[in-house]
Amino acid sequence: MSWYIIKRLIQAVPLLLGVATVTFLIVHLAPGDPMDMFLENRNLRNIDPEVIELIRQKYGLDQPLHVQYVKWLGNLLQGDLGESFEHRRPVSALLAEAIPYTLQLTALALLLDALVGIALGIFSAVKQYSVLDKTVTIGSLIIYSLPSFWLALMLVLVFSVNLGWFPTSQTRSLDYEFLSWFEKLADLAWHLVLPVFVLGIASAAGTARYMRSRLLEVLNEEYVLAARARGLKERAVILKHALRNALIPIITIYGLSLPFLLGGAVIIETIFAWPGMGRLAVLAIQARDYPVILATTMIAAVLTVIGNLVADVTYALVDPRVSYEKKKPV
């Protein structure tokens, strides 16, 4: 197994290089460079062109594309992500601040997705065609179809603006520093409710539908009938024999949803002013902040590769028929 993981990681290197190159090209070919955006955003249009040229030289923006590329890639390989034009701080420091916020959000959303999605999927399949099943099937279709930004805005409108139950945005209250540790925790949780809900519920809807169809498929298998013929309780038949088989492909979905949750976080973080990776990326794109854009894209690419690898490795752990080693038959 460890050989398999090493092999996969080596295979990921050219893939990540490709992502790096394509992203670099797209970002640099897009109209406007960091200088233009910097001046635009600050209304400094009338500044002396010679000064602008000097700043361009300082950041190496005057050099041909391939020189910039080699320089950037060389630094990247040494673990140096560069310095943000916009924030004038090392990109690694910006990421170190943003990542914990995004992880908070996506990990909780993933948890919500798994708990709600799998549970509803099971109920739905076991009570096929019941009122509950129909509610889940139709409800999940509606939720899955709603754009997350619209859902987020509606929830903010209803629960924050009209009812005042939850904050509209931010990660903590203004008086956070003066709260006791328990109140701090409650304050953080209070701010997390809406963004986690929006982020998790749409993927939970997808999970529920997938879980339902997988479990229905498995319940028709002969080993389920055989388990019943052995006198097992219905609970054991479904929660042990059927569920274990139905969950195997769900694991792949989870591995692949790792970058999806980060992608979804771009929109949700922007709406809720959540200082995570997604918001960092959006602001960086608006400012043409090349080093930050490239760093966030590379992280998303690495996460996709890792998510795939984790899915494949877990697959082998939960399904005895899947093995990445050459084993002697019993």
Partner 1 sequence: MLLEVENLTSHFFLDEGVLRAVDGISFDVNEGETVALVGESGCGKTIVALSLLNLIPSPGRVVGGRIVFNGEDLLQMEAERLREIRGGGIGMIFQEPGAALNPVFTIGSQISEVLRLHRGLNRREAEAEAIRLLGETGIPEPEKRIKAYPFEFSGGMRQRAVIAIAISGRPRLLIADEPTTALDTTVQAEIVDLLRYLQAQHKMAILLITHDMGVVAEMAERVMVMYTGKIVEVAGVCELFREPKHPYTSGLLNSIPRLGAGRKEPLRGIPGAVPDFLDLPSGCTFHPRCPIGDESCISEFPSLRSISPERKCACYKVEAG
Q: Which residues bind partner 1 (CB under 8 A)?
A: 220-223, 225-233, 236, 241, 244-245, 248, 318-321, 329-330
Contact between 310 and 297 (Cβ < 8 Å): no
Please, what is the minimum distance in Å from the beta carbon of residue 224 to partner 1? 8
Please, what is the minimum distance in Å from the beta carbon of residue 330 to partner 1? 4
Q: How many residues does the chain have?
A: 330
Q: What share of the chain is helix, strand, coil (3-state, %, to 5)?
A: 75, 0, 25
284 residue type, one letter: A
Which residue do the tokens 């003066």 mark? 178
Encoding tokens for residue 269? 């973080």
Helices and strands in the chain: count of H runs, count of E runs: 13, 0
* Cβ distance to partner 1 smaller for residue 205 or 237: 237
Give the separation between CA 138 and CA 119, rounded to whole angstroms: 16
* Cβ distance to partner 1 smaller for residue 31 or 231: 231
Please, what is the minimum distance in Å from the beta carbon of residue 324 to partner 1? 16
Please, what is the minimum distance in Å from the beta carbon of residue 241 to partner 1? 5
Encoding tokens for residue 97? 């601040």
3-state class (DSSP) for residue 90: strand
135-138 contact pairs (CB < 8 A, 24+) = 136/208, 136/212, 137/209, 137/212
* Cβ distance to partner 1 smaller for residue 88 or 327: 327
* Cβ distance to partner 1 smaller for residue 23 or 245: 245
Q: Measured over all CA atoms, what is the biggest interatomic distance in the chain, rounded to whole angstroms?
A: 87
* Cβ distance to partner 1 smaller for residue 129 or 182: 129
* Cβ distance to partner 1 smaller for residue 78 or 220: 220
3-state class (DSSP) for residue 83: strand
* Cβ distance to partner 1 smaller for residue 158 or 322: 322
Give the separation between CA 160 and CA 166, rounded to whole angstroms: 5
Please, what is the minimum distance in Å from the beta carbon of residue 172 to partner 1? 45
* Cβ distance to partner 1 smaller for residue 163 or 330: 330
Give the separation between CA 92 and CA 43, rounded to whole angstroms: 29
Please, what is the minimum distance in Å from the beta carbon of residue 321 to partner 1? 5
Which residue do the tokens 């809720």 mark? 272
Which residue do the tokens 């909780």 mark? 108
Encoding tokens for residue 175? 């008086």
Please, what is the minimum distance in Å from the beta carbon of residue 236 to partner 1? 8
* Cβ distance to partner 1 smaller for residue 222 or 325: 222
Please, what is the minimum distance in Å from the beta carbon of residue 223 to partner 1? 4
Contact between 151 and 159 (Cβ < 8 Å): no
Please, what is the minimum distance in Å from the beta carbon of residue 180 to partner 1? 48
Cα within 13 Å of Cα(222), Cβ side = 0
